[in-house]
Amino acid sequence: MATKKHEETTTFEFLSAHPDLTSGEIARAMGRSVCSISGQMRQMLAAGRVVQTGIRNGIPTWRINDMPFGCHNRMTMMFNQLLREHRHGMHEVSL
């Protein structure tokens, strides 16, 4: 198995610096095949490392999943945080 050169940028690193790109755009920018990048994106999606941000011309765009534990929706996280705070506050009042 070949080892990665230190100066070579990984797809994950590239997407971190350039979010909201399609697999084809990433492949062209990195000089790789679309099939290779698409396969990597599927693997990273399955692992929860990337999320789909939208669709451009019928093709998904991607970014790094910056939300821990696979929680992709910031609004859901905010709601859950407020709900926890509310429940905690109600618990203190009833004591």
The per-residue pLDDT of the chain, averaged, comes to: 83
Q: What is the pLDDT of residue 66?
A: 78
Comparing 6 with 67, which gets the higher pLDDT? Answer: 67
- Which region holds residue 92: left if phi is over 0, alpha if psi is between -120 and 50, else beta? alpha
How many domains would you assign to the chain? Answer: 2
Do both 52 and 74 map to the same domain?
A: no
Inside any domain, residue 3: no
Asked whether the beta carbons of 53 and 68 are under 8 A apart, the reply is no
Inside any domain, residue 1: no
Do both 16 and 57 map to the same domain?
A: yes
Where residue 1 falls among pLDDT bands split at 50, 70, 90? very low
Where residue 22 falls among pLDDT bands split at 50, 70, 90? very high
Do both 52 and 84 map to the same domain?
A: no
Residue range(s) defining the domain that contains residue 84: 68-95
Inside any domain, residue 95: yes
Inside any domain, residue 12: yes
Do both 15 and 41 map to the same domain?
A: yes
